[in-house]
Structure 1
């Protein structure tokens, strides 16, 4: 929709259509990631909020119930957060995540490993041990 609305800005003399469209998509994804990280930081400070059913709201519910989880999610870089959420919420396999993100299986594994390590490090500090 955005590309269609901006079609008058496309200049064929400057390059092909595909890179122009991918540039728009990349900017939209970057904006979304920035807003998502900011949302998790805010949730970590706010505490419980009303829950609305939905895919993304399962993360919000967990993050508000345990604010350190929101802090942990905000600490992840975009790639780590994408892999973790596709695995946890999307219930995708490593292969499906690799295909969805256009990355190798090894990259999926290493991003997930780093994400888990960061979350464990932060949650271990916050959770009381018996």
Structure 2
């Protein structure tokens, strides 16, 4: 049994809805490309995940370095790349630096790929 053309069009529209967010301008695309470049390293991606999932919303650098088979200076370099990309922020407290994510930056990134809300959704 075959589907009619209208059924196929509806199925394609439902399963292949476009990604959300308005089209990016050239400047925004260039800026975001730098952010994705910072995230394109497995160590930096893990670091960001660890920081984002830390209890209390922040984590000490001393708790980050032990999770990797890399030296503390290398981890510091990765943290600097994430900080330069605007994904994390840090605050020095005595000897240690405590890191937290920049939530609005992560929200902006997630908004690039969110499915658009259908018109009338949520209305009762």
Which of the five TM-score ranges fits, normalised by the shorter chain? 0.3 to 0.5
TM-score in terms of structure 1 length: 0.33
Q: Which has the higher helix share?
A: 1
> Of the two, which has the highest radius of gyration?
2
Bigger relative contact order, structure 1 or 2 (CA pairs below 8 A, ≥6 apart): 2
